[in-house]
Amino acid sequence: MRLTAAKLAELVNGTVIGNPEAEIRGVAPAESAQEGDLTFAENQEYFQKAITSNASVILVGDNYGPCDKTIIRVANPRVALAQILDQLFPEANPAPGIHPTAVVDPTAQIDPTAYIGPYCVIERGVEIGPGTILMAHVWVGEKSRIGAQTRIFPNVSIYQNSKIGNRVRIHSGSVIGSDGFGYIQDGGIHRKIPQVGWVEIGDDVEIGANVTIDRGALGPTLIGQGTKIDNLVQIAHNVQIGKHCIIIAQVGIAGSTKIGNYTILAGQVGIAGHLKIGDRVIVAAQSGVTKDIPDGQHVLGSPAIPDKQAKRQLMALRHLPDLLKRVAQIEEVLRLKTHPPNLKRDQQSQD
């Protein structure tokens, strides 16, 4: 389909200024854009780069333009860009069916519109919904349920009794429902506590590559609707994560912690167990959380404290070398006042 500035503007509820018939064949950043490309600008710096680029069309916010190029004005350029990319680069879907190399238990219920890829293993009592795609080498443990329009990428392992919602995406190498890390000291050894719970993942969740989500010791580990989890995240047993959270790479969440809705955990955050993190909390990168955090608070540091307080402490640390030098000078002045030198004795010793 031929895409023009006018058609894309209609798609994103935008306004064309310039040539509405300008054809768009691709999307590129301003630095590498060629004729026929769309680029986008969300601030003045990007806009200046865009208008000097070779791009044919610029996607901009309401407060930019006009210029010599065709522009599409929208309320939010990033949201519009996501819609356009979805239009220009639709994800390929394999034809429904079960690959001949897949191993499927006869008791499994697989919707005829689903796709089961090469070398997948589907165990007893599994249910897989309409339009769901399992790519190569996916293992689904017994009695697990996977909803509609879900896409599971290669080499994902889903342990028994897992419950996965609709329109979920799970990327390669992730493990859903492995044993929680539960042991107790018994006669000098670490005795394993059987982990007999499960994992529940809500609708519209995305899970990155090499994420591990442990099943509950008793009851579920819960991931709420719309939550997005980046690569290399560890979620321990019986953790509960609310709706529409953002969990960024290398976060670790210890067992039984509860996280509210719309909360953001930045990269490499560590959260201790049995804590309660409120709604709309933001935890800055590399913070260590050891206490409950109320709704709406922004925290930073290890241990994590309110970010304004943490920033004041960090600013104070920058002045510490100068402060130590000044303290040493003051101490020397005080020492000389309290123990003045004996000039007469010093003169005699020189004679």
What is the predicted pLDDT for the residue at 42? Answer: 86
CA distance 342 to 182: 71
What is the predicted pLDDT for the residue at 87? Answer: 82
Is residue 49 domain-resident? yes
Quick one: 338 and 193 in the same domain?
no
If one counts the domains in the chain, the total is 3
Which token pair is 141? 């443990």
Among the candidates 69, 88, 107, a domain finishes at: 88
Task: Look up the domain containing 57 and give its range.
Answer: 5-88
Quick one: 84 and 187 in the same domain?
no
Quick one: 29 and 175 in the same domain?
no
CA distance 144 to 166: 14
Quick one: 290 and 344 in the same domain?
no
Quick one: 33 and 181 in the same domain?
no
Q: Which residues pair with 183 in a beta bridge?
A: 192
Backbone angles phi, psi at 311, to 5 degrees: -65, -35
Is 298 in the active site?
no
Spans of the chain, pLDDT less than 50:
none
Is residue 286 domain-resident? yes
Quick one: 135 and 161 in the same domain?
yes
Q: Is 77:50 a contact under the CB 8 Å cutoff? A: no
DSSP letter, residue 218:
S
What is the predicted pLDDT for the residue at 212? Answer: 98
Of the candidates 99, 137, 190, 237, the residue annotated as catalytic is 237
Is residue 315 domain-resident? no
What is the predicted pLDDT for the residue at 349? Answer: 57
Quick one: 142 and 247 in the same domain?
yes
What is the predicted pLDDT for the residue at 36? Answer: 92
User: How many CB atoms are closer than 10 A to CB 31?
Assistant: 9
Quick one: 203 and 304 in the same domain?
yes
pLDDT of 95-133, one tens digit each?
999 999 999 999 999 999 999 999 999 999 999 999 999
What is the predicted pLDDT for the residue at 344? Answer: 60
Cis peptide before 66 (omega within 30 of 0): yes
What is the predicted pLDDT for the residue at 345? Answer: 58
What is the predicted pLDDT for the residue at 335? Answer: 85
Is residue 274 domain-resident? yes
Question: Which of 228, 219, 229 lies closest to 163, judged by CA?
Answer: 219
User: How many CB atoms are closer than 10 A to CB 48?
Assistant: 13
CA distance 238 to 281: 20
Domain CATH code at residue 198: 2.160.10.10
pLDDT of 124-158, one tens digit each?
999 999 999 999 999 999 999 999 999 999 999 99
